[in-house]
Amino acid sequence: MGEAKHRKAIDPYYGKKPKYGRGILLSPPMVYDGKKVVLQSSSIDPGELRRSALFWDRLVWPDSAIISTGSNIDEEFLKAEGLLTRPRPTRYNQEAGLGGALSLTRLVSASDITVESRQVGLFVQQHVEEFLDLERAEPGQWTMAQGEGSLVMENEKFVKGRGQLVKLSRAIPLPDPGYPLQDLLEFKEKRQSEIIGLTHELDKFFSQVASAKDGDFELARLLRVVDRQCCDMIKVAKESKRRFRLGDLSFSLSLDSFESAVKRVAAWEAAGIVATGLPIVGGVLGGATSLVSISRGIGAREITARDNPFRVVGTIHKELV
């Protein structure tokens, strides 16, 4: 038996990884309230950077000329490894009055910065459009990081109530913010099967339930699958020579992606299906309360041809796995 046939025979996820890998659009931790941008840091949150490097294959962090942010040592390392790229968006530069300047605002190793000007809205919109451009070029292959460790905003491209949120609470091992990146990439290479197994099931979780003839049966089946995959990931994290901490991951899928999802969500809400435990994970963690919850979330106006999450929010806890 050839090498490819042998791997396919023993690995149920062989060949299911996208050709160029899964991609994620990153941002420094910042909040946009419609008038100003408040940046906690001009760099990517170290926990967010490591989570993304572990579970995604391509990291994109735009370097806007409206508000330009310099790369730190960790980010430069991932650039040198070919994992992180920093494109220079040009959309809205003219409207921002950039002229011949390289940047309107330049931030390097900065923290707790507030930028208030008419251009900040263009800066945020530029970030959103960068994600939409990536999505149009490779439908279904890109995710946008949001939340406290990344970008918090409201935008007309994203609509409350038109998405489905699947949240794993205290069920995912996330690298400690101080995890050496070289060691993390070695761990990623060594544990590819566990990582791909988990990410594949999470990417397809909601779409498989929503499109099934018997949604309740499929939901119960996939919850068992996710429980096992999370457990496998926790076991290999425990074996790591570096620290992993217990974490949450929330995934948003746009209900406009397929009509069957709308009816399925309405049925779940009427039945009061909100959250369920993960007994295998709880057992491995010594009785910790690990949950999967399903609720309404944010949808995307211009993403209608994908059946996997377009948005992810991560939270890391203090507890070690």
Tally of domains in the chain: 2
One-letter amino acid for residue 7 of the chain:
R
Does 230 map to a domain?
yes
Residues 6+ apart with CB under 8 A from 175: 47, 50, 51, 54, 184, 242, 243, 244, 245
Q: Give pLDDT tens digits for 309-318.
A: 888 899 999 9
One-letter amino acid for residue 62 of the chain:
P
Does 228 map to a domain?
yes
DSSP E strands, the chain: 23-25, 30-32, 36-41, 58-60, 67-69, 84-85, 105-107, 111-116, 142-146, 151-152, 158-175, 244-254, 275-277, 291-300, 311-320
Does 250 map to a domain?
yes
Residues 6+ apart with CB under 8 A from 53: 59, 78, 83, 181, 184, 185, 188
One-letter amino acid for residue 160 of the chain:
K
Q: Quick one: 130 and 176 in the same domain?
A: no
Q: What's the pLDDT at 10?
A: 46
Using CA atoms of 249, 127, 59, 20 in order, give the dihedral in degrees to the nearest 10. 100
Q: Are 125 and 155 in contact (CB under 8 A)?
A: yes
Q: Quick one: 67 and 140 in the same domain?
A: yes
Q: Which of 152, 180, 196 is the last residue of a domain?
A: 152
- pLDDT by residue, tens only, the chain of 321 residues: 555 454 454 455 555 566 779 999 999 999 999 899 999 999 999 999 999 999 999 999 999 999 999 999 999 999 999 999 999 999 999 999 887 777 888 898 999 999 998 899 999 999 999 999 999 899 889 999 998 889 888 777 776 766 677 889 999 999 999 999 999 999 999 999 999 999 998 888 877 877 778 877 888 898 899 999 999 999 999 999 899 999 999 988 776 555 555 566 666 666 666 678 899 999 999 866 898 887 777 777 666 556 678 888 999 999 999
Q: Which of 117, 136, 152 is the last residue of a domain?
A: 152
b/e per residue, 181-194, with b = 16+ CB within 10 A?
Answer: beebbebbeebebb
Q: What's the pLDDT at 98?
A: 84
Q: What's the pLDDT at 6?
A: 46
Does 119 map to a domain?
yes
Q: Quick one: 211 and 233 in the same domain?
A: yes
Domain that holds residue 116: 23-152
Q: Quick one: 184 and 83 in the same domain?
A: no
Q: What's the pLDDT at 276?
A: 83
Q: What's the pLDDT at 262?
A: 59
Q: Quick one: 127 and 221 in the same domain?
A: no
User: How is residue 66 written in tokens?
Assistant: 């409206």
Q: What's the pLDDT at 183?
A: 97
Whole-prediction pTM = 0.89
**CA dist., res. 248 & res. 315, Å (int):** 5
Q: Quick one: 170 and 132 in the same domain?
A: no
264 φ, ψ to 5°?
-65, -45
Q: 162, 140, 154, 171: which is closest to 248 by C-alpha?
A: 171
Does 11 map to a domain?
no
Q: Quick one: 65 and 100 in the same domain?
A: yes
Q: Quick one: 129 and 170 in the same domain?
A: no
Q: What's the pLDDT at 296?
A: 72
Bridge partners, residue 36, by sequence: 116
Q: Which of 152, 171, 196 is the last residue of a domain?
A: 152
User: How is residue 208 written in tokens?
Assistant: 């498989």
One-letter amino acid for residue 276 of the chain:
T
Does 184 map to a domain?
yes
Q: Quick one: 145 and 198 in the same domain?
A: no
Q: Quick one: 103 and 198 in the same domain?
A: no
Q: Quick one: 34 and 114 in the same domain?
A: yes
Does 17 map to a domain?
no
Q: Are 260 and 222 in contact (CB under 8 A)?
A: no
Q: Quick one: 177 and 274 in the same domain?
A: yes
Q: Mutual orientation of helices 259-271 and 192-211 as an angle, nearest 10°?
A: 90
**CA dist., res. 194 & res. 176, Å (int):** 19
Does 12 map to a domain?
no
**CA dist., res. 264 & res. 266, Å (int):** 5
For residue 9, give the 3-state DSSP assignment: helix
